[in-house]
Amino acid sequence: MRTLFRNAQFWSAGEEIFDAILVENDLIVATGEIALHASHDKSIDLNGAFVMPAFLDGHAHPIFAGREAAGPKINGLDTVELILNAVGKFAQENPDTPWIIGGAYEAAIIDGGNFDSHWLDSVVSDRPVVLHAVDHHTIWVNSKALEIAGITEHTQDPIGGSIARRIDAKPKGTLREPSAMALILDFAPVDTIASDVEAIKRACASYLRAGVTAATDSWVEKDMAKAYLAAAKSGDLSIAMNLSFLANPSSWSEKVDEFIALRQEFESLPDPDLVKANSIKFLADGALSAGTAALMEPYLDDPNSTGIKIWDDDELLDALSVFDMHKFQVHIHAIGDAAVKQALDAIQAMMRINPNWDRRPVIVHTQLICDDDLIRFRQLGVVANIQPLWCYLDPMNKELILPRLGVTRNDLQYRLRTLIDSGARIAFGSDWPVTSEIPLLALSVPVNRLAPGSTNSPGWSLEQAITMNESLTFYTKNVAYQMFRNNERGLLAAGYKADFLVLEKNLLEIDPSEVSTVTIKEIYQSGVKTL
């Protein structure tokens, strides 16, 4: 069955707009004039629509997002009252859910971000409630959760974490960083493979609605990998996925064989391209909003602190070298300039030690980069994976980061233009559920450096703005390269998957502020219309 799609403006990174594609089964077999003149069984008139390749997400946490979606939805609510209403309503509708776990609330909506357990008690007091903040380094809980966990005024702050206190030292209800969050979450019902398969289904459904047909899960532990395997076998994994296994200091060396064995299991699935389990995730530092990103110069609000480096240099190099030797791609979270430098140094040293191969190392977030490190992305072939939806002066930047960095350093975040000019390859990722998985919401942000849909003020550090054409390229072609899917996805070209979106407007011709309101009229996945 050969179908001609015609009378549309087809966009594919690096090409002039063309007016037709020919699809046979799940693949594009010809484009432009060649497609128009080839024989076909069926012809579809797209009435002048704008057609582009489906989006690809180069950094996200779909299982976490799917788990979170099982609880109350509080994303984007900008008052405590609205959040409490949503939690109360969820509790009423789900009387048998033993723990109410949801996310993600914007911590900047109250001064200091210390949310009170008593506020949650006013809507749910019979069961524990745990809400994740958008940074996913913080939780807000009710009194029942504190009681079950046995947290009182006598509980010490765990190493690396903190418990917000009232004047009398009793816990207030906000806990920060994984060690403190674990004091509560260790008592919550554990995620099972079956519940994670449900989470994967929910995540895939959200992605497909947003026009994303391949994504990266950049925090995968063994049981999560088992859930992906189960979902792949049962047909519940409805988009392609690249998995990045989490390596931690001190325990990574025990995981090497496990990750190799898991990779083999994915390779032996009937469709070996459905899941690529070929990447290892390293966390080099924390987050600027929490004062845990690793900086070259101290934080303004704490002159004794330059943040936290999670790995020491030697161990990071050892771990990178071992995984690289086993042909795993490395995917390093680095936010502060000292963490980015540490990651680049380690990658450079690893490349000297190990034989050459097509390794495509990734540094994700790269919010602050030392001037002399900018060129190293191109020199070392490192993909800078950046979150487009973060590239404006959002409440977190304004309220939590700016006071810690000062104006000059704060304004140097997300230097996309400088990176492009230096020859670096940028790919986009949503970091969902930290921020939205919807690419159409994010595309304009690095272009006008304003919130999605905003028109009313000059953008933030506009000298770092990129074009809409670049933004589209970074969310399609360049992610395909990062995901080792550049012969398969990210372009509308002969031999590529027939995964494409039909949009009501040409994204390159409208004002960037309108892009977030454009509707996807149709979505094709492997040549089949899914919307």
Give the binding site for Zn ion (CB under 5 A): 431
312 — alpha (psi -120 to 50), left (phi > 0) or beta?
beta
Q: Which is nearer to Zn ion, 120 or 212 (CB)?
A: 212
Rounded distance between C-alpha atoms, residue 443 and residue 474, angstroms: 9
Minimum distance from residue 217 beta carbon to Zn ion (Å): 10
Closest CA to 328 of 263, 387, 284, 404: 263
User: Can you tell me the distance from the alpha carbon of 132 to that of 138, in angstroms, rounded to the nearest whole number?
Assistant: 6
- Smallest distance, Zn ion to C-beta of residue 244, A: 10
Q: Secondary structure of 73-98 in the HEC alphabet?
A: ECCCCCCHHHHHHHHHHHHHHCCCCC
Choose between 337 and 431: whose C-beta lies nearer to Zn ion. 431
CA distance 339 to 24: 47
What gap in Å lies between CA 525 and CA 522, rounded to an integer? 10
Strands (E), 199-339: 212-220, 240-247, 275-283, 329-334
How many whole angstroms separate alpha carbon 76 and alpha carbon 86? 12
> Would you say 198 or 217 has its CB closer to Zn ion?
217
CB-wise, 60 or 465, nearer to Zn ion? 60
Q: How far is the CB of 131 from Zn ion (least distance, A)?
A: 19
- Using only C-alpha atoms, the chain has a radius of gyration, in whole angstroms, of 23
If the CB atoms of residues 65 and 443 are measured against Zn ion, the closer one turns out to be 65
For residue 434, the minimal CB distance to Zn ion (Å) is: 6
Q: Six-digit token pair at 31?
A: 């484009």
Burial of 156 (C-beta count, 10 Å sphere; 0-12/13-18/19+):
exposed
Smallest separation (angstroms) from Zn ion to the CB of 210: 17
Q: What is the dihedral of CA 476, 472, 231, 484, to 10 degrees?
A: 20
- Which residue number, 198 or 431, has a Cβ lying nearer to Zn ion? 431
- Chain residue at closest Cβ approach to Zn ion: 431
Shortest reach from residue 218's CB to Zn ion, in Å:
5
Task: Rank residues 431 and 470 by Cβ distance to Zn ion and give the closer one.
Answer: 431
Question: Between 394 and 431, whose beta carbon lies closer to Zn ion?
Answer: 431
The least distance separating Zn ion from the CB of residue 431, rounded to whole angstroms, comes to 4
Distance of alpha carbon 386 from alpha carbon 99, whole angstroms: 34
Shortest spacing between CB 57 and Zn ion, in angstroms:
11
